[in-house]
Amino acid sequence: MTANPSSSQRPVMLITGGSRGIGAATAVLAGRAGYAVAINYRDNVQAAEATASAVEAAGGEAWCIQADVASEDSIMAMFAALDARFGRLDVLVNNAGIVDKKARVQDMSGERLQRMFMVNTVSAFICAREAVKRMSTELGKEGGAIVNVSSAASRLGSANQYVDYAASKGAIDVLTLGLAQEVAGAGIRVNAVRPGLIDTDIHASGGIPNRVNDLGPSVPMGRGGSPEEVAEAIMWLASDKASYTTMSLVDVSGGR
């Protein structure tokens, strides 16, 4: 990684968990829209590099940055590297997230709960905090947009599956509602998307690789969604086309 503060006149979008799934699909659409895309990943450098190649093929600029968003130190190092590389931030997509194995609340360990809320919730607060410092017109910056990736689970509760995950996303909804009001006068819009059943690796990581095929027919639209269908909503919320939209929770969930 080389410091190159003047490398880009493009708007800069940081996507946590940009290496795969919904984050990767968003990165490619952002590349098509002309962004310089900072692709955060935790472990999968090959996936991050493949996404970077796709961003560049789409016409954007790409930069991969490893950081475990469960660690505040790691997030701070990521933002320091972002500053050195681009010297600006226009859009933050708080996308990195995990599920755990199917379990009932009565069987969830404290360690599991800590990890779930660190990766899915505390990370989003810390990244949002750092983004606001780099966007706020009250601090002499140029404004920007934050898009949080929540889940339909925050409405549904995910009983007998992963209530911890659903609750971690409920907190993301409330972060969105509260922060949006705090920074509306500082040139920053804050919104969330709430995807339903989307065809990514996350289901296999939770031990249910066939989840989208199995449950797709039960969705009112009769199928699961694609990462690109979620990415389109994220890109709209990030863009000036959504210039009067803040504090919104946008469901991308096929009718459920």
**Does 119 sit near ligand NAP (CB under 6 A)?**
yes
Angle at 65 between CA 64 and CA 68, to 5 degrees: 135
Using CA atoms, how far residue 115 sits from 111, 120, 127, 206, 229, in Å, is 6, 8, 17, 14, 28
**Does 85 sit near ligand NAP (CB under 6 A)?**
no
Q: Radius of gyration over alpha carbons of the chain, in Å? A: 17
User: Which residue's structure tokens are 């940055």?
Assistant: 65
- State which of residues 22, 91, 135, 146 lies at the interface with ligand NAP (CB under 6 A): 22
- State which of residues 151, 158, 161, 176 lies at the interface with ligand NAP (CB under 6 A): 151
Listed ranges 6-14, 52-60, 89-97, 127-135: which one lies at the site for ligand NAP (CB under 6 A): 89-97
- State which of residues 11, 144, 195, 216 lies at the interface with ligand NAP (CB under 6 A): 195
- State which of residues 20, 85, 141, 189 lies at the interface with ligand NAP (CB under 6 A): 20
**Does 12 sit near ligand NAP (CB under 6 A)?**
no
Listed ranges 13-21, 130-138, 178-186, 243-251: which one lies at the site for ligand NAP (CB under 6 A): 13-21
Angle at 133 between CA 127 and CA 135, to 5 degrees: 95
- Total residues at interface with ligand NAP (CB under 6 A): 30
**Does 229 sit near ligand NAP (CB under 6 A)?**
no
Angle at 215 between CA 214 and CA 216, to 5 degrees: 100
Using CA atoms, how far residue 237 sits from 21, 22, 137, 247, 249, in Å, is 18, 15, 19, 11, 10
Active-site annotation holds for 165: yes
Listed ranges 15-23, 127-135, 137-145, 237-245: which one lies at the site for ligand NAP (CB under 6 A): 15-23
**Does 43 sit near ligand NAP (CB under 6 A)?**
yes
What are phi and psi for residue 145, nearest 5 degrees?
A: -140, 140
Would you say 39 or 132 has its CB closer to ligand NAP? 39
- The letter for the amino acid at 86 is F
DSSP state of 65: E
- Check 35, 41, 162, 165 and give the catalytic one: 165
User: Which residue's structure tokens are 């404290």?
Assistant: 110
Question: CA 85 to CA 251: how far, in whole Å?
Answer: 34
* Residue 108: strand, helix, or coil: coil
Chain contacts with ligand NAP (rule: CB under 6 A): 16-17, 19-23, 40-44, 47, 68-70, 95-98, 119, 149, 151, 195, 197-198, 200-202, 205
Q: Supply the residues annotated as catalytic.
A: 165
